Amino acid sequence: MDERRVRGRGGPVRWWRHGPPWPGRRADGEPAGRWPWRSTVLLAAFVLIGSGFAAHGQQDGRVALDPFARVLLVVAAGLLLWRHRRPVPVVFGTAAVTAVYLAAGHPYGPVLLTVAVACFAAVVAGHRRAAWTALGMLGAVQLLVAHWLYRWLPPSGDGPASLAQETVAATWIAVVVAVSELARVRREQWARERAERAQAARRRADEERLRIARELHDVLAHSLSVINVQAGVGLALLDSDPAQARTALTTIKSASKEALGEVRQVLDTLRAPGDAPRAPAPGLDRLPELVEQAARAGLTVEVTGRPPRLPPGTDLAAFRVVQEALTNVVRHSGSRHARVHLEQAGGVLRLTIDDDGPAVGTDAGGSGNGLAGMRERAAALGGTIEAGPRDDGGFRVLAVLPSAPGPER
C-alpha cells in the first residue's frame, strides 16, 4: 500500500494514500478491500434514468439518446467500479467517455456526475494532478466543441454556446474542485488526528511500562540486597552465634514480606488498570523504615533535616531515590555509614545521600539501572539527579526535585 507523509503538530506522520483514514472504511463509506458494486450500480441507474429525463427537456437543441449514447453512459458509470483501485485511469477514462458523449451532441445531464465522482476519488487518493488534468482536458474539449467544432458535429444547425451555458459549466467545475479539495483536507485531518492519538497512546504505554519497571527494580533491588546481606550473615553465624543468625533470618522474612506486598501492588495495577491502589504509595514518612532496614543490613544511616510535606508524585520519587541510594551503599560500598540530608527551600527539595567509601564491585561507579531509574523519575518531575564519586573517595547522590513549599510533617 502506497503511503504519503503529512506533517502534523507532533512531527511527520503517515496516512494511507489508497486506504481509509479509519479502519475498515473508505472515504465513501464502502468497506475496505471490496469492490464498490452497490454505489456503482445505483449511480449507473441514476445516470441512465436522469439522462432520459434530460433528453426530454433538451429535444430542440441536442441529439436524442440512442443506443450508442446509452453505451457511453453505462461505460462512464461502469468505470467507477475501479475508482479505488485504479483512480488515475478511471478519472481519465470517465473524462474521455464524457467528452465523446458531449461531442456527439447528446443531452447534458447526469453524465457529468461520473466525472465528478471519479475526480473526487482521485483527489482523495492523493492524485490531485491527474484529477485536475483530466478535468481540464474535459473543459478544453467542451470549449472546442461549443465554440469551434460545433459546425461539423451534431446536432446540425447548432450555434455556439451561450454565456449561460459557459457559466453553468464553470460553476460545475468549481463545485467539483471545491468538494474534492474539502474531502482531501478533511481526510488528511482525520489521518493526522488518528496518528496523533496512536502516538499519544504509545507514549502513555511506554511511560507506564517505564514506571512499572522502575517500581519493580526499586522494590526488588532494595529488598533482595537486604536479603542477600542478611543471608550471608546468617550463614556465617549459624554455628558460632545462633541468636544473631536468628536475627538475620527475621530480617530476611520481614524484607521479603514487604517486597511481596509492593510487588503485589504493582501487579494489581497491571491486572486492573485505572483502579485505585489498595495501599498508599510510599513516601518520606517511611524514611525511618529505610533506616531500620539498612541497620539490619549492617549500615548505619544518619538523617538530618525533617521530611517536608510533598505532592504524592514527588514524595514517592524522593522515597525511591533514598531507597536506591542506600541499596547501592549496601551493595557497592565498603562503608558501613551513610548520611541522608533533606533540605527544602524556594519550592525545591534537595536530597543528598553520602557514604565514605571505598567503592567495591564493578558497578560502583553509578552506571546501573538503578541510577538510570532515579534520573528518569527526577526528569519526569522536572528535577535532576547527580551521582558520582567524591574527591575524598566516598560517593554522593544529589537529587533536586521541584515541590510546592508546605508545612513540615
User: What domains sit in the chain, N to C, each tagged with a CATH number?
Assistant: 3-200 (no CATH), 283-409 (3.30.565.10)
Any idea how long the chain is? 409
Confidence (pTM): 0.45
Mean pLDDT of 270-285: 65
Task: State residue 353 phi and psi, 5-degree precision.
Answer: -120, 120
User: Regarding beta strands 348-355 and 395-402, do their DSSP bridges make them parallel or antiparallel, or are they unpaired?
Assistant: antiparallel
Give the CA count within 13 Å in the CB-facing half-sphere of 350.
Answer: 11
Rama region for 406: left / alpha / beta (φ>0; ψ in -120 to 50; rest): beta
Q: pLDDT-based confidence at 24, cuts 50/70/90?
A: very low
3-state secondary structure of 359: strand
Of 152-166, 256-270, 311-325, least confident by mean pLDDT is 152-166
Contact criterion met (CB below 8 Å) for 13 and 202: no
> CA 43, 44, 47, 50: dihedral to nearest 10 degrees?
-90
- Identify the pLDDT of residue 156: 59
If pLDDT is split at 50, 70 and 90, which confidence band does 60 have?
low
The DSSP symbol for 408 reads B
80 or 60, which is more confident: 80
Question: What's the whole-number mean pLDDT along residues 313-324?
Answer: 87
Spatial distance between the Cα atoms of 166 and 172, rounded to a whole number of angstroms: 10
Cell 458531449 belongs to 102
Q: Which residues of 345-383 are buried (b: 16+ CB within 10 A; e: fewer)?
A: eeeebebbbbbbbebeeeebebebebbebbbbbbeebeb
pLDDT in tens, 186-221: 888 888 888 898 888 888 878 777 777 777 777 677
Kindly report the backbone phi and psi dihedral angles of residue 12, in degrees, each rounded to the nearest multiple of 5, phi listed first: -65, 135
Least confident of 4-13, 175-184, 273-282: 4-13
- Residue type present at position 20: P
Please give the average per-residue pLDDT across 59-88, as a whole number: 87
Half-sphere exposure of residue 113: CA atoms within 13 angstroms, side-chain side: 18
Give Cα 198 distance to the centre of its chain.
3
Q: Residue 314, exposed/middle/buried by CB under 10 A (0-12, 13-18, 19+)?
A: buried
Cell 451534431 found at: 154
| Residue 113 to residues 47, 56, 163, 254, Cα–Cα distance (Å) | 8, 19, 22, 80
Sign of CA dihedral 307, 311, 315, 321: negative
Total H helices, total E strands in the chain:
10, 7
Residue 28 CB partners (closer than 8 Å, separation 6+): 36, 39, 121
Residue type, 212: I
What's the pLDDT at 27? Answer: 46
pLDDT band at 72; cut points 50, 70, 90: very high
Work out the percent of the chain whose per-residue pLDDT is above 70. 77
Whole-number Å distance between alpha carbons of 110 and 138: 15
Which of 215, 294, 224, 227 is CA-nearest to residue 262?
A: 215
Residues paired with 14 in a beta bridge:
5
CB 388 within 8 A of CB 396: yes
